[in-house]
Amino acid sequence: MNIDKNETSIRSILEKVSTGSLKQYLNSLSDFHTRHSKSPLLNDAGNWIMNELRSFGYKDTFYHSFKSTIDNEEFELRNIVCKKKGVDEKLIMVCAHYDCIMDLKEDSVSRAPGANDNGSGVCAIIEIARVLANENLQHSIQFVFFSGEEQGLLGSKSYAKYIKENGMDLYRLVNLDMIGYPFFAPNTVIIERDNNTNVKHNQVGENDTESIKFGEMMKDMTSSVGLQFHLDSIYDSDYEPFEANGYVVIGAYDGSADSIKNPHYHSSSDLPENIDWDYLTSVTKLVLATILKIDSFNSH
């Protein structure tokens, strides 16, 4: 059986994305005093994310636990994985990190709401999961939330290894890391492809062409959700460990990871009231449209 969603069908699904839902999620997530990877509050935030996903009817959800050393101390950290089964086992992953930090990286006790970095990416995925809960898809999907990103992509390194060792057919990955303030230019989303000329950020060459094509597919969807685009390269986020394992990855980003231009970056003022809700809604729709398009595109 092939499931083919046409443009009209995709548009009707996109209309289900709710700004009100995104606000509700982000306010709840930002209410945690901190989500630092060394803080026990990160587990509380993880439980909140898991409960939201289960409330949509997802049964195949689990914590992917791993140990990592942070500031010379060992921590047991958890990624959150939610699976939606498709007709086939070919896998689309949409991912974001749910931990956050202050300007002083090791400070695990100060107030750190992390609304944009990266509550915005987390809440977009929760909303996409809600919208897709009762949709039939050709490919299977994993909604994945990583911990330990701010300490060196710890969660994504661990999970990329797990995916590889278990021989999963990871077809495409979309990473969301800061999508709530359009800092590059008004209403403009940065689409990151696997074409960085620095080998540190592009360890495998064989997946570059498909990533660039996938980025073009996302770019082609921007006008339908009222966004402008800027094409750039993947850099220092959770797609990199998957790229290094040969998988095809792209990312969406708002350009705001700049402590000089953005006073809220890694700060206690990274609060929901500073989010551009229309922009976050549009980027959420863009990612959802890209998932639906790649699912339909490859189902023939």
Comparing 21-35, 99-113, 166-180, 285-299, the range with the smallest average pLDDT is 285-299
pLDDT per position as a tens digit, 282-293:
999 999 999 999
Residue with tokens 């959802």: 288
Q: What is the pLDDT, as a whole number, of residue 3?
A: 66
282 within 8 A of 20, measured Cβ to Cβ = no
- Residue 30 CA, distance from chain mean position: 17
pLDDT at 1 over 70: no
| Residue 150 near residue 100 (C-beta atoms within 8 A) | yes
Q: Are the beta carbons of 138 and 87 closer than 8 angstroms?
A: yes
Alpha helices in 96-177 (DSSP H): 120-132, 154-165
Strands 249-253, 188-193: pairing kind? antiparallel
Domains, in order of start, for the chain: 7-297 (3.40.630.10)
pLDDT digits (tens, 9 = 90+) for 40-95: 999 999 999 999 999 999 999 999 999 999 999 999 999 999 999 999 999 999 99
Give exposure, 53-68, as e/b (b: 16+ Cβ within 10 Å).
beeeebeebeebebeb
Q: Which helix (H) or strand (E) holds 51?
A: helix 41-55
Amino acid, res. 255: G
Question: What are residue 77's phi and psi, to 5 degrees?
Answer: -110, 165
The model scores a pTM over 0.75: yes
**Residues 173-208: pLDDT tens digits?**
999 999 999 999 999 999 999 999 999 999 999 999
pLDDT of the residue at 6? 84
Phi, psi for residue 173 in degrees, rounded to 5: -130, 135
Confidence band for 300, pLDDT divided at 50, 70 and 90: very low
Per-residue pLDDT, 5: 72
